[in-house]
């Protein structure tokens, strides 16, 4: 889909999810379409209907100010992540974008040392979901995922992941939302859009959820696992952005004294044993191109 189409569908789906009464709009009679009409969004945002219509159509001769975009975001009750996405999407649609792809330097030795020495599972991924580093516990917790592989491919194309992640759909939908946010920031990133195209063809779920135009980067919070070695465990995931702004450290911690804490300890013991016999480790299933 063109960037004009992305902008049109994003604004259309945001309009459709709002009821007039949610934003204080009085209605009479039967409405033919769900959600807000264009004229209602324009009224709430304080812009003309013609201007909003042309913006929603992605007309390239428009250069809306940040104030206008923020007014539209307020009218549509966008979250902060969605507001930033709208800014990025409009800039890439109506004015072109200088951002081609993220600039990623090799991960420095200090960051790798920190990751390796964390006593809990940890993983470093970039804006595309490519894995740059994992520690021993991270590899043990997320079998099939390794440095040099793709987290989105692991989620959607590795059948074992659906068994590992108890709330697979939640994680998968979030993965879609993260990729959509990245695609607006880097509209000319060939590798990113190749990945999106590949997943759209290979996964019906990805294709369906991509069409919903949801944007989200909230990757923190509790995650439930059904691990093939240590069984069920619930871990809290925290995401920390690295200094380059394009990579994140994800760390997984268990509640002290809980059954998940004990399972994580057992997993660490098992991982140490496995590392002592590296030839027995399985080959990753989702290598990057």
Query: Average pLDDT, stretch 38-42?
Result: 89
Over residues 237-281, the pLDDT tens digits come to 999 989 888 899 999 999 999 999 999 999 999 998 887 665 555
Residue 122 pairs in a beta bridge with: 251
> Number of structural domains, the chain?
2
What are the angstrom distances between the C-alpha of 207 and each of 112, 173, 196, 212?
35, 11, 9, 9
In a domain, 224, yes or no: yes
User: Is 181 found in the same domain as 231?
Assistant: yes
CA distance 38 to 285: 47
In a domain, 289, yes or no: no
Domain boundary among 94, 124, 157: 94
**Residue 136 banded pLDDT, cuts 50, 70, 90:** very high
User: Is 260 found in the same domain as 142?
Assistant: yes
CATH number (domain holding residue 16): 1.10.260.40
Over residues 174-211, the pLDDT tens digits come to 999 999 988 888 888 899 999 999 999 999 999 999 99
User: Is 230 found in the same domain as 150?
Assistant: yes
Give the pLDDT score at 187: 84
Q: Percentage of the chain with pLDDT > 90?
A: 54
Domain boundary among 50, 65, 94: 94
In a domain, 171, yes or no: yes
User: Is 119 found in the same domain as 78?
Assistant: no
User: Is 133 found in the same domain as 244?
Assistant: yes
Instruction: Answer yes or no: is pLDDT of 173 > 80.
Output: yes
Over residues 73-125, the pLDDT tens digits come to 999 999 888 998 888 888 775 544 455 677 778 888 999 999 999 999 999 99
Give the pLDDT score at 289: 45
CA distance 147 to 24: 50
User: Is 193 found in the same domain as 73?
Assistant: no
Full residue range of the structural domain in which residue 221 is found? 109-280
Q: Tokens 């709208």 sit at which residue?
A: 86
Give the pLDDT score at 285: 43
25 vs 237, more confident: 237
Give the pLDDT score at 287: 44
- Average pLDDT over the chain, rounded to an integer: 86
Phi/psi at 235 (nearest 5 deg)?
-125, 145
In a domain, 136, yes or no: yes
User: Is 78 found in the same domain as 142?
Assistant: no
Query: Tokens for 194?
Result: 């190749």
pTM as predicted: 0.79
Give the pLDDT score at 95: 47
Instruction: Answer yes or no: is pLDDT of 282 > 70.
Output: no
User: Is 274 found in the same domain as 131?
Assistant: yes
């Amino acid at each position: 889909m063109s960037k004009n189409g992305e902008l049109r569908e994003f604004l259309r789906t945001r309009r459709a999810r709002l009821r007039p009464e949610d934003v204080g709009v009085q209605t009479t009679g039967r409405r033919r379409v769900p959600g807000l009409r264009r004229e209602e969004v324009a009224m709430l945002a304080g812009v003309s209907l013609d201007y909003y219509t042309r913006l929603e159509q992605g007309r390239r001769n428009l250069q809306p100010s940040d104030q206008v975009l923020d007014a539209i975001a307020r009218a549509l009750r966008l979250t902060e992540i969605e507001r930033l996405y709208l800014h990025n999407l409009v800039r890439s649609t109506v004015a072109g974008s200088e951002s081609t792809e993220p600039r990623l330097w090799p991960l420095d030795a200090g960051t790798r040392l920190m990751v390796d020495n964390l006593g809990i599972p940890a993983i470093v991924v970039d804006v595309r979901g490519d894995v740059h580093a994992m520690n021993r516990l991270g590899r043990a917790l997320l079998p099939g995922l390794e440095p040099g592989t793709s987290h989105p491919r692991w989620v959607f194309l590795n059948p074992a992941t659906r068994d590992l992640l108890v709330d697979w759909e939640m994680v998968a939908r979030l993965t879609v939302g993260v990729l959509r946010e990245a695609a607006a920031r880097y509209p000319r990133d060939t590798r990113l859009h190749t990945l999106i195209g590949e997943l759209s063809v290979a996964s019906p779920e990805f294709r369906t959820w991509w069409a919903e135009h949801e944007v989200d980067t909230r990757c923190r919070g509790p995650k439930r696992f059904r691990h093939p070695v240590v069984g069920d465990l619930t871990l809290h995931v925290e995401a920390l952005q690295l200094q380059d702004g394009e990579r994140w450290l994800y760390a997984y911690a268990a509640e002290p004294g809980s059954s998940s804490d004990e399972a994580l300890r057992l997993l660490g013991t098992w991982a140490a044993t496995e590392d002592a016999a590296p030839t027995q480790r399985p080959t990753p299933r989702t290598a990057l191109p």
